[in-house]
């Protein structure tokens, strides 16, 4: 397996392209809002520990890409935002071609998210 650092992920999923980095549970998570559908959020779970900036579980090094829909504010409870999964996680195995595969998987998740949003949620 190829070790991918948080810095490499930041250089690939760049803030100037709209990607935001945030801690989620015990790993770093990138998220991107689709400009044409701002309630649809693409998320990339890195598997990189928030505390140590290294892989959480050496046996499960996959990067996961998935999509959620931010629900209408009327559906929020206790002031917390609610999300609904729209595309299940697809995995990217971190090898020397991880950037190519991650780009392809992100494109796939965006395509499926737009299709499902337009068909089921709109």
Q: Domain locations in the chain?
A: 6-121
Q: What is the pLDDT of residue 75?
A: 57
Residues near 6 by beta carbon (within 8 Å), at least 6 away in sequence: 28, 46, 48, 53
Task: Please name the residue ranges forming H helices in the chain.
Answer: 6-12, 98-116
Q: What is the mean pLDDT of residues 88-117?
A: 94
Structure tokens at 71: 């629900």
Candidates 13, 25, 7; CA nearest to 92 is 13
Distances (CA, A) of 87 to 23, 54, 115, 116: 21, 27, 10, 8
Q: With a cut of 90, say whether residue 41 has pLDDT above it.
A: yes
Q: What is the mean pLDDT of residues 37-46?
A: 93
Interior angle at CA 62, CA 37 and CA 119, nearest 5:
25
Q: What is the pLDDT of residue 49?
A: 84
How many Cα atoms sit within 13 Å of 5 on the Cβ side?
3
Please state the pTM of the whole predicted model: 0.85
Q: What is the pLDDT of residue 3?
A: 78
Q: What is the mean pLDDT of residues 4-10?
A: 89
Q: How confident is the model at residue 51 (pLDDT cuts 50, 70, 90)?
A: confident
């Amino acid at each position: 397996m190829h070790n991918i650092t948080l810095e490499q992920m930041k250089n690939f999923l760049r803030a100037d392209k709209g990607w935001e980095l945030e801690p989620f549970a015990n790993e770093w998570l990138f998220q991107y809002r689709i400009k044409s559908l701002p309630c649809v959020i693409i998320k990339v779970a890195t598997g990189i520990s928030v505390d140590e900036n290294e892989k959480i579980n050496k046996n499960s090094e996959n990067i996961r890409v998935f999509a959620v829909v931010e629900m209408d504010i009327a559906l929020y409870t206790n002031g917390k935002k609610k999300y609904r999964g729209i595309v299940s996680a697809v995995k990217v195995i971190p090898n020397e071609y991880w950037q190519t595969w991650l780009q392809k998987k992100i494109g796939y998740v965006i395509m499926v998210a737009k299709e499902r949003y337009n068909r089921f949620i709109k």
